[in-house]
Structure 1
């Protein structure tokens, strides 16, 4: 299985090349890199049957570039194993593969905490991908009920980051 650094190198190589799409498959793991435009981040897909890649990224002192505003929200599907009170919650999901940060630098407070009120344009976190620090907006109004990932954790495309009780 590829290591995180090897995946990052693949992303960098595809991004710098004229290739628009690249697929790598090994032992049940499938990585698909696809360019959607020059200003868009490269998308990486991961089959659920594969083991997750573990990494201990170092939190940056401060973002190297101006953050881009990116938003992704998905309604929380009602699963039989979920408790009844969670059925009406919405998820704020990661719009890309990258590293999750709760604040813009190690010495500043987190953008949001459990119980924080958010509006549609509230910045809730940063996802760093390919040395770009992308501000993630809530895209929903409500209260943060749960933070689902830890600071510095590697997140996948579409992975839930926060549970929000809409207002």
Structure 2
């Protein structure tokens, strides 16, 4: 079975590519990833692909669709590094859950110590409940989302002081 980090890398690669659907099978296990393409965005994507096919001066090249996203992330990471915390981010789009069931205790609370392999939450995507591991060692200093909240890919879920 693929690890969470490997799935994250696959998601990033597919997101940055023109691939709309990806299926991975190994030893009877299957992972299928699909991009959600909205019809309003399709003409813009086709236009960008067409413009990139014809060489143009660098100043005339269209800006990538996600050109505004990297700058805030870099700024957040820099700010996070200054105060000694690290963000645990969502590896997928889905619904965030603090615990394995409504009547169970939360996996972590503010002040909880975590290791790289500690489960910190569950993100439900397409009826699959995915346990999310901390992947860092330290203390949970802030929980950034509420139980049952929808989360996006790459959205910070927790702040951890290493």
TM range (shorter): 0.5 to 0.7
Residue 113 of structure 1 corresponds to 109
Unaligned runs of 5+ residues in structure 2 are 1-17, 38-64, 68-75
Mapped to 1, the partners of 2:78 and 2:31 lie a distance apart of: 31
> What's the offset of the Cα at 1:21?
3.8
Alignment: residue pair count: 106
Mapped to 2, the partners of 1:96 and 1:43 lie a distance apart of: 12
Unaligned runs of 5+ residues in structure 1 are 1-19, 23-33, 50-75
Q: Which protein shows a greater Rg?
A: 2
> What's the offset of the Cα at 1:40?
3.2
Higher strand share: 1
SS of the aligned residue for 2:109 comes to: coil
Residue 155 of structure 1 corresponds to 151
Residue 93 of structure 2 corresponds to 97
Residue 138 of structure 1 corresponds to 134
Higher helix share: 2
Q: TM-score, normalised by structure 1?
A: 0.55
Alignment counterpart, residue 42 of structure 1, candidates 13, 17, 33: 33
Mapped to 1, the partners of 2:32 and 2:161 lie a distance apart of: 29
Q: TM-score, normalised by structure 2?
A: 0.57
Residue 78 of structure 2 corresponds to 78
Contact 1:98–1:128 (Cα < 8 Å) also in 2: yes
Trace 1:48-59 onto structure 2 (pairs within 5 A): none
CA offsets 1:63-101 (integer angstroms, 9 cap, x no match): xxxxxxxxxxxxx6114xx795x3x21111100000000
Mapped to 1, the partners of 2:147 and 2:36 lie a distance apart of: 22
SS of the aligned residue for 1:78 comes to: helix
